[in-house]
Structure 1
Amino acid sequence: MTKSLIGPFIFALSVVIFVFLFQFLIKSLDQFVGKGLSIWLIIQLISLNLAWMLTLAVPMAMLVSSLMAYGSLASGNEITIMKASGISLPRLMIPLIVFSFVMFYLMIRFNNDILPEANHRARILLFDISKTKPTFILEAGKFSDDLNGVQILVKKTFPNSNNIEGVYIYSYSDPENKTLITSKNGDISFSTDFKKVIMNLNDGEIHQLNVKDVNSKYRNVKFEKHRLTFDAEGFGFQNSNENTFSRGDRELSAGAMNLVVDSLKNARDNLDNKFRETLLKEIISMQRLNFRDTIITKPVILVPDMNTDGTIKSNKTGLTTYYDSLRNMIRVFFNKKNEFKNIEIQSQQLVKQIDSYDVEIYKKFSIPFACVVFALLGAPLGYRVKKGGFGIAAGLSLLFFLLYWVCLIGGEKLADRALVSPFTGMWIANIIIGLLGLYLMFKSS
């Protein structure tokens, strides 16, 4: 039984990876065209992106292979004969379940050891490619401003050489001096390190005029040979230092993300402690206001004391002192309100970050477990369909994989919005598909 699984599994895995790879190339094609990237560099980028493709392709291949294997057995009445001999469908599924748990373990190791590093290197490589300027190309009759500070126009180029004819170079790097260089012919090339563009011009003129000084003289210099060098930094591909790039949540293992989550939880606890301490101080301050000292038990006529000059002496009663303290306390409370609000916002942001990392941690285990879930679904589904062809298996697999993917993405969105826990969001797809598989398995038995 195991041999009948491995063949369809490898075939289905190859087909699914090819589909993902084709989609990736179509999506990223505009980033490669015209940048003079080597074949080795493109192969390296594809190899690094195969990691996430493999993560998604293995569970889907498990579903396709189980559908094909058990559908083929059912179409040949082999399962019927085995069931007549007293061998139940769950017993027939033991090799498949063992195989699925082996793949589950291998994919957990892959997702924690290989996938984060591949994602990190792929992101850096894509960044390096994105900042690489398109290859410097001169087209006859069109101005080129790919080089900083100059515009170049040539009348004629030659496809099999670097020779050019009818050259006009307008320099605007110096705002005071306008310079125009003309040449009948020459050649253009890159330096060996791709950091300079070198132009060798023949039989030409240099026209220069200072536009800021009206008294300056127009300069006209003729030359037989003249060499120009321009800065071409960025035209050649350059690797970035990996140590200068921070890692995102998809570029970390589950263990590394757990450490980040612990530090975020400590930061949140510190904020909560700060909030409680600040609130406690305000409560103690308010309790210092003693109402019993300011209670009026009978009407009192307050006669103000007079100064010798006829003005009233400042004489605060206990009641007015209390109200002054109360006003101060209200003012302090409203000032502290903003501080409390800031603490609350910071705490909410930390909770969102914690949930985001928890989602990625659970995802590293829930997607590999889909191998087991799809094995539980594929075998009874293949038995009921009783057709082992790749077309039917691929169609049914695509349908259930889309259902699984919708549940997974939906759960992730709900977890990010704190509507469900990260565990529920990441495992709800496995629970739904797994229960459906168990139902079909016992129904077929």
Structure 2
Amino acid sequence: MLKSFLAPFAVTMPVALFILDMQFLWVYADDLIGKGLAPWVITELMIYASARLVNLALPLAILVASIMAFGSLSERNELTALKSAGLSVFRIFRPLVVTILLISIGAFWFSNAAWPVANLKFRTLLFSVTQKKPTLNLVPGAFYNGIEGFAIRVDSKEENGRLNDVLIHDHREGKTGVSRIIRADQGTMIQSGNRLTIVLKNGVSYEEDLEQAKRRKERLHPHITSSFERQEFDIDLASLDFSKADEGLFKRAHEMMTVEQLGTAMDSLGLLVKQRLREIELYGNRQSVLLRDTITTFGTTKATGPIWTILSTTERRMAFDGARNLTRNNRQSIANGLENANTRVRALNRHAIEWHRKFFLALSCVLLFFIGAPLGTIIRKGGLGMPTVLAIGIFLAFYILSMIGEQMVKSGTVTPRFGMWMSSLALLPFAIYFTRQAMRDARAFRINWSNQFFRKQT
């Protein structure tokens, strides 16, 4: 029984990871192509990306393997033989249930221990890759700006490496504008390590004194023009080298935390939100002078009418202006406080999403097994055809509901507890129903739909 499950599981898990990795490469192809990355950088990035995609590949592999395993057993009437020997469906499922529970425990450990490390390594390496400048590749007719301080354009390149009609803008001397322009009929490039030597022939150099030009009131730009038959200058290519970013830039992100760290961060954010809301509630009261208990008492006089009737026009204007300014300031302060509180609530929701995700992977493995295994006994189909189609359909529904729930949590529509478990709650009745039907050996599901469809047509 274990062999019938572990064999397809060992095949579908790498296949699922490979498909998801190809999707990752498709998304980030523009950031990887043309940068001259070493093979070890690409390999390391793919390893970390694969680790991050386990939360998708593992439940899918369990679902496909369980449908294939029990579908094949039912198709070969092996389950019927086991039932005839007096074994119940639950007894038949027991070894695999224990296996799935062990896999779920391992999945939780992976989510809590390995997932944060993989996320940190992946984010750091991906950031380093995206920040790396493209390798030196001159495209005829287009400026190359990959080297800091230079813009290089060539009209054409020959097979022997000779460059024709070379134009170089040298920005190294001036922070604003062009300080030096070099144009040559021909040129060649010689690269040695991180040093690039450009040899130009038959050209003209224009040098502009930017500081002197800025001091002049008239619109004159002093410059020096010089011609040359041969000129060489070196360019440092160290800026094109690949270097890893500091992991400390991403270490405090919620995706890099364990369950304990997320719980501590959520408690702190919750207290900050409550404190901020309390401050907003009391803000108006603090601004009111009516609550002061240290005012000097005077004799009371009964007012003969509304207070503004005894004020002059100037005093009325001052009173109304003061009230309007106080109201405007209070409203702006309360709005700023609410925005600050909402920002903290969104951060709290992101931490809560990650906290629930740690448990979600483990329990989703169990849930999808109890959908796939009974469904395999019901459809009585093994192989890669019907089981794969059913598994992909079920998993897509599960994944879409998970993404919808997560987005609803991020937008504040639902609580993190409901949003993160919405997909599991939606599929739980199906797991219970399929398991119940499989234990009852329900023949109502053992129908050849294609034959019955054509029978109705005739």
Counterparts of 1:342 and 1:217, CA distance in 2: 56
| Match of residue 189 from structure 2 | 188
Compute the displacement of 1:10 (Å).
0.8
Flag structure 2 segments of 5+ consecutive residues without an equivalent: 214-219, 440-458
Q: Deviations over 1:81-120 (max 9, x none)?
A: 3223332212221122211111111111111111122122
Q: Secondary structure at the match of 2:397?
A: helix
| Match of residue 4 from structure 1 | 4
Tell me if structure 2 keeps the 8 A contact 1:282–1:333: no
Tell me if structure 1 keeps the 8 A contact 2:269–2:344: yes
- TM-score with structure 1 setting the length: 0.81
| Match of residue 235 from structure 1 | 240
Compute the displacement of 1:360 (Å).
1.7
Q: Percent identity?
A: 23
Q: Secondary structure at the match of 2:198?
A: strand
| Match of residue 97 from structure 1 | 97
| Match of residue 410 from structure 2 | 416
Matches within 5 A, 1:430-441: 430-441=424-435
Counterparts of 1:184 and 1:432, CA distance in 2: 70
| Match of residue 443 from structure 2 | none
Q: Deviations over 1:182-236 (max 9, x none)?
A: 3655x423342x3x422245x645444769779977533444xx42112435322
| Match of residue 380 from structure 2 | 386
Higher CA-based Rg: 1
- TM-score with structure 2 setting the length: 0.79
Counterparts of 1:293 and 1:216, CA distance in 2: 85
Counterparts of 1:125 and 1:269, CA distance in 2: 37
Tell me if structure 1 keeps the 8 A contact 2:45–2:122: yes
Matches within 5 A, 1:50-65: 50-65=50-65
Tell me if structure 2 keeps the 8 A contact 1:66–1:96: no
Opposite residue 264 of structure 2, the aligned amino acid is: L
Match of 2:392 among 394, 398, 414: 398
| Match of residue 357 from structure 2 | 363
Tell me if structure 2 keeps the 8 A contact 1:9–1:64: yes
Q: Secondary structure at the match of 1:114?
A: helix
Matches within 5 A, 1:33-112: 33-112=33-112
The number of aligned residues is 415
| Match of residue 270 from structure 2 | 265
Opposite residue 390 of structure 1, the aligned amino acid is: L
Q: Deviations over 1:234-265 (max 9, x none)?
A: 32222212223454322322222222212212
Compute the displacement of 1:398 (Å).
0.6
| Match of residue 220 from structure 1 | 227
Name the Cα RMSD after superposition: 3.6
Matches within 5 A, 1:14-413: 14-139=14-139, 142=141, 144-146=143-145, 147=147, 148-153=149-154, 155-158=156-159, 163-164=161-162, 166=164, 168-171=166-169, 173=171, 179-182=181-184, 187-192=188-193, 194=194, 196-201=195-200, 204-208=202-206, 218-223=225-230, 226-281=231-286, 285=290, 332=326, 335-413=329-407
Mean CA deviation greater in 80-89 or 11-20: 80-89
Tell me if structure 2 keeps the 8 A contact 1:55–1:368: no
Mean CA deviation greater in 421-430 or 347-356: 347-356
Compute the displacement of 1:326 (Å).
11
Mean CA deviation greater in 330-339 or 37-46: 330-339
Tell me if structure 1 keeps the 8 A contact 2:111–2:361: no
Task: Go from structure 1 to structure 2 and tell me whether the alpha carbon gap of 1:329 and 1:214 turns closer, same or farther (over 3 Å shift).
Answer: closer
